[in-house]
Structure 1
Amino acid sequence: MESANQGLLADAMTDVPVDNAARSAAPEGLTLAEEEELRSELAKVEEEIGTLRQVLAAKERHCGELKRKLGLTPLDGLKQNLSKSWHDVQVSNAYVKTSEKLGEWNDKVTQSDLYLSASSTLEDWNEKLTQSEAYKKTQETLSQAGQKTSAALSNVGSVISRKLGDMRAHSISHSLSSYSIRHSISMPAMRNSATFKSFEDRVGTIKNRVVGSRENSTDGLHSPSGAGDKSPQDNAPF
């Protein structure tokens, strides 16, 4: 009987819900009331975080719409962010201290004996090099080469200009010669020459014969009976 009652009691206990707070042991040093208060505060904070995320998403969408209406592209936003980041870097303490350190190191290097000695040595070498015969000869050679190149280019330009002038003059002379030939043909002396008169007489004779033959053919078509009365001499070709 006792074993049966214990089995029924165990089955009944498994059906009873158990609270999570009751199942988990309270952290060391906290009472159950303090733990419950902390859990309640944690739930509120998580709820506020979710609300803030929703508000932030809405603000970002609104910001994107405003940028789109203003014609601002993501590239403009990136440039603005980079400029702001660079400004923040320049005004940061680390950047200012680094700049000051670099300035101090530069002053120390330029004022050091090694730097001054090296600068003096380089100046001496430069002076010796510019005063050497090899440097002077090289400079003279380069100067002469530059002058020769300029002269060659000038000669090429002169030749091209002269060629263009000759071509223009040849074209003008050809036009003038053609005009003089046409003008000489139309001159009175040419018209009064024997050759021109002979040519003009021949053209007139041929013209009269052609006109006469056309008139004879026209008369023959209008009077067919009279065509047989004419002598063969009248119908002879010219």
Structure 2
Amino acid sequence: METRQQGFNDSEPLREADENMTSDVNLSNSIMTEEEREEIQLELAKLEDEISTLRQVLASKEKQHTDLKHKLGITPLSELRNNLSRGWLDMQSSTAYKRTSETLTSAGQKTTAAFSTLGSAINRKFGDMRNSPSFRTFEEKVENTVTSIKTKVGTPGAGGSFEDVLSSTAKASSQDTPTNNSTDTPERP
């Protein structure tokens, strides 16, 4: 007999000798008598009958189960609600949930304390800034400018139009600004 290797891409068809060898291999793996074959087929038929019977019994029990629930007033929605409630309670009692809850509570408290400290620091800085000489000087200039505008606009015939009042106030403001960079506050008029 000729030795050759066959692969998936071989284009030669199987010869009769190859087919006989293949069928011999299949039969040698599972040699059984006709009697054993009939026994197995009978057992298979019994199992199929039992499975069919069990399916019928299960369907009957499921119907009975549904009827009893209906009589008790248990609806699918109420079952879902109960399952969710039970699941939520189970989750809350888990150690992972408790640890996470404790961690988040602690983080919330620390964050609150940090924001409180930050708020106090900002308030203190604004207070310091408001009491600083440069802020007081700026505040006085704004007050003087507002007062000057009020007196010029409020007095009939004193200053002309609103634009004239603004330009004269701006000129007066620029003349009041000290040109040297000393830390002394300018004298109040």
TM-score normalised by structure 2 residue count: 0.34
Higher relative contact order (CA 8 A, sep 6+): 2
Q: As a proportion of its length, which structure holds more helix? A: 1
